[in-house]
Amino acid sequence: MPGSTLQSFETVEGCGTLPWSRSPIPGESIMGLLARTVAHHGIDRIAPVLRIAGIDTLFPEALPTTHRKKAKAIAALLGTTPDEVKLRCHQPIDVPGRPNSFMNFFGTPIREHYREARRRRFSPASLATSPHHRALWDLKVFSFCPESRETLISACPHCDAKLGWRWTVGIASCEHCGEDLRDASTSKVECVDWEALDFLVDLIHPDPARRTRAHRSLPHPLSGLDNGEAFEACMALACASTFASDAPEKRLVRSTGFAAVTPDALAWGGRTILEWPTSFQAWAGVAGLARPDQGILKRRLGMLARLFADPYLAPAFREQMRRELGIEIFRFGLKLRRPHVRRPSDKGRVAGEPYVRQSAAPGRSSLEKPPIPKRGAAKLPVVRRAKIGRNKIAMQLGVDCLTVARLADAGLFSRVDGASAWSKAGEAYDRSSVDAFVMRARGAIRANPESCDAVPLAIAARRLPTAAPWVGIFRAILVGALEVYPCDGEGERALTSALNVVEWRLRDLVSSVPPEVVLTPKGQHVSLREAAAMIGVTVSIVQSMVEDGLLINDPATRRLRTADVIAFRSAFILSGEVARLLGYSGSVREVLFHQGVSPAATLQRGEIALWRREQVEVAIGPARQRCA
């Protein structure tokens, strides 16, 4: 709508709405529907349009996950029903017996890792048929379009710019140069078994008729699996046939890894399920005989042996594999671990066992596994169940791993010492003391008055001008000096996301609490999580720094040198810390640009800017005055 202003758009039931709506097309993604509707109004940026619905974000591609609870507002904005929006926002699903990382993909539970969030991929032939974005294009497991059988393209063939969801001039055009993407040329994928590949696609296809047809094709032994479980089995088999037994990743997460799984590998996984159990038994026999030189029998079956411990596979399917491989297990001597067996705690239960080997003790390498006396090993299983690792506590509380150590030093919960703490890398903590601390914090929640303008503690802490003094904050919560209120929404959340606070009260508290010094881990190396806590960023940003060569990662230990992280923290500063120092919520890049400060480097992933700390500190005075 040329010449229109976003402020002139009307509201429906308190939610902003666009003048003209576009009907959702079956199988269309929510981002495709949004971009198509925005482009129809002559608007080229998506983020300002989302503000009409009360969604203030610089990352529109996060709409299907971060803002999926605002289905009513999004539906009002697009002029459709909330059910249509929820269907395309892929709500999280709790699958019994498997990790909580599944989403609802048009009625089928699949792993959230399969979804491509940032890249916009397309097929020229499919766009020529209908210019809308297919939701199947957003799944990293498919390098091709199931409709046209063309290789999907993620960059404009005219200007070579990567396609995304920040700008739009229509689904069929490049948002950078405006050229028509339907004129692009791409190759057709080749596959020796299209029938099996179509079966795999139909298992999760948005069309209910195709999903029903695929489920009817399941053989009788696997007829009890639902479509999502059958699809996960196909993917596990395809990955197992692609990678070697010593591959570093058991299951794929990144797009670069999924690119190695060819259409033929996917079709082979589908064919193995369709012809179950004959094809599976044949593959197991070939896999075992293909590595006669392997001294370790488990490696002779390669990636197949890992499937039995794959937590993402349905328990019923793992049991089917055990049943069908009974002969092969006997032949090759492979002992499959049952769910109730724990390594090495099962050895501690054996009477007469003089020693039990644990994982590396502090100060020892992973190859120097110290023996533990039988008397200590007998109590080991009970002690292990009563402790919890540092990273799990960090996720449970919603803080970084170094903050966990500071909270323990302050006496808010207890550490576990001795041999029982050797089973994991890093420190171990007493589970009961951590649970008691969380219960006391949740017990401090007060009734939330209607007039109380509270936000989650995690968000309020990020807006502080300095790093959050978590020890002082949690102590204030426990004694009632900082009032906390319940957070709206369902599902389990981290503690800092489940507690709401009033921001001005938190700021007053922080101003009276002495700042906490960021701990430097002992030792010459730190993990990615520890490095992220030291710098004040996420683990993914640290991984981007490693990929760009700003930090050196030891390929053997996957750890960073402590001195390198300290030097990096002293030399560079990121946007989040600059924003806190300025007390500014707008564009940090623009403020520093007016002060003559340019980024020293930009991370390729996410285009995150880094500035020289010395230059920023010199310019921080005038910048503060400009922000004020």
Domains and CATH numbers, the chain: 6-183 (no CATH), 194-332 (no CATH), 345-385 (no CATH), 387-511 (no CATH), 525-627 (1.10.1660)
Detail the DSSP E strand segments found in 524-608.
525-526, 553-554, 559-561, 572-574, 601-602
Q: What is the distance of C-alpha 111 from the center of its chain?
A: 10
- Residue 362 clears pLDDT 60, i.e. is over it: no
- Residue 322 clears pLDDT 90, i.e. is over it: no
Establish how many alpha carbons lie within 13 A of residue 22's alpha carbon, considering only the half-sphere containing its beta carbon. 19
AA identity, residue 376: G
- Using pLDDT thresholds of 50, 70 and 90, give the confidence band for residue 348: very low
For residue 406, what pLDDT is reported?
85
Question: Strands across the sheet with 559-561, in order?
Answer: 525-526, 559-561, 553-554
- How far, in Å, are 228, 237, 274, 283, 286 from residue 279 at the CA level? 21, 11, 9, 6, 11
Range in 48-62, 380-394, 609-623 the model is least confident about: 380-394
- Residue 438 clears pLDDT 80, i.e. is over it: yes
Condensed to tens digits (0 to 9), the pLDDT of residues 476-510 reads 899 888 888 888 765 578 888 888 888 888 888 88
What six digits make up the tokens of 51? 């503000």
Condensed to tens digits (0 to 9), the pLDDT of residues 154-193 reads 999 999 999 988 888 889 999 989 899 998 888 899 998 9
The closest of 436, 427, 447 to 521, measured between CA atoms, is 427
What six digits make up the tokens of 551? 């930090």
Structure-model confidence comparison of residues 449 and 357, the more confident one: 449
Structure-model confidence comparison of residues 7 and 414, the more confident one: 414
- Residue 54 clears pLDDT 90, i.e. is over it: no
Share of the chain above pLDDT 90, in %: 18
Share of the chain above pLDDT 70, in %: 75
Range in 115-124, 481-490, 553-562 the model is least confident about: 553-562
Cα–Cα distance measured from residue 236 to residue 497, given in angstroms and rounded to the nearest whole number: 34
Cα–Cα distance measured from residue 599 to residue 519, given in angstroms and rounded to the nearest whole number: 27
Concatenate the DSSP letters of all residues of 55-117 into one string. Answer: ---S-GGGHHHHTGGGHHHHHHHHTS-HHHHHHHHT-EE--TTS-S-EEEETTEEEEGGGB--
For residue 231, what pLDDT is reported?
95
Q: pTM value? A: 0.54
- Using pLDDT thresholds of 50, 70 and 90, give the confidence band for residue 365: very low
Cα–Cα distance measured from residue 175 to residue 169, given in angstroms and rounded to the nearest whole number: 6
- Residue 135 clears pLDDT 90, i.e. is over it: yes
Count of positions (residues) in the chain: 628
Q: Do residues 626 and 591 make contact, with C-beta atoms less than 8 angstroms apart?
A: yes
Establish how many alpha carbons lie within 13 A of residue 455's alpha carbon, considering only the half-sphere containing its beta carbon. 12
For residue 603, what pLDDT is reported?
83
Condensed to tens digits (0 to 9), the pLDDT of residues 592-626 reads 777 788 888 888 776 788 888 888 888 776 555 45
- Residue 321 clears pLDDT 60, i.e. is over it: yes
Average pLDDT over residues 69-79: 84
Strands 559-561 and 601-602, how do they pair?
unpaired
Average pLDDT over residues 281-301: 55
Q: Chain-wide mean pLDDT for the chain?
A: 77
Q: Do residues 526 and 565 make contact, with C-beta atoms less than 8 angstroms apart?
A: yes
